[in-house]
Amino acid sequence: DAGVIQSPRHEVTEMGQEVTLRCKLISGHNSLFWYRQTMMRGLELLIYFNNNVPIDDSGMPEDRFSAKMPNASFSTLKIQPSEPRDSAVYFCASSPYRMYGYTFGSGTRLTVV
Amino acid sequence: GENVEQHPSTLSVQEGDSAVIKCTYSDSASNYFPWYKQELGKRPQLIIDIRSNVGEKKDQRIAVTLNKTAKHFSLHITETQPEDSAVYFCAASPGGNQFYFGTGTSLTVIP
């Protein structure tokens, strides 16, 4: 099993541009979580899905952020338009539904200039 | 919602000494407490966890204790080694799969 796969690993973009981060879940996992990590705020949960359905998106900073899960194994996090304060490492994690233990992806380091 | 506090934020120990990281939580419904280790530039990885029906769990040099009455839990690392240097996160889960993370402890083991 290749684990949770995120792409790209690094993204540098200009302010105002659209950014799309991608995540492939571990086969058989039903829950998907998007986290943002910064020095100031630590690990913040942005949104999570169970069986492709968004359960809690209260952590999404604002309407510029959106997340989708078009199928059971894949998710995207989109920022449009991006701003410098969005610069962070974005992790996705997956787990079997209603069981314990996350597996994190390698993260995407986003820099908005 | 749940609120998890973690102390200290930084910790330096001499190689071979023990390290202790403490966390408190607010929601008495929380019943699962994992600990993650994050090395520089890498993903957080689960190193040990404990459920609310257990008071202590040990895995080689790592142990976790839980005091449900006081709502706190701790990570203990014995005989520390330089490769233990990392950021450690505690978390609490009141059910389902939603975790609430502490703010992290940066551990440095000095050779």
Rg, Å, chain A Cα set: 13
pLDDT band at B99 (very low <50, low <70, confident <90, very high): confident
- Average pLDDT for B28-47: 93
The answer for residues whose C-beta is within 8 angstroms of residue B7's C-beta and 6 or more apart is B21, B22, B23, B105
The one-character DSSP state at A80 is: S
Distance, in angstroms, between B101 CA and closest chain A CA? 7
CB atoms within 10 A of CB A109: 16
Cα–Cα distances in angstroms (integers) from residue A80 to residues A35, A67, B69, in the given order:
17, 11, 46
In the predicted structure, residue A91 carries a pLDDT above the cut 60: yes
Helices then strands, counting H and E runs in chain A, come out as 0, 11
- Cβ–Cβ gap B97/A98 under 8 Å: yes
**B16 confidence band (pLDDT: 50, 70, 90):** very high
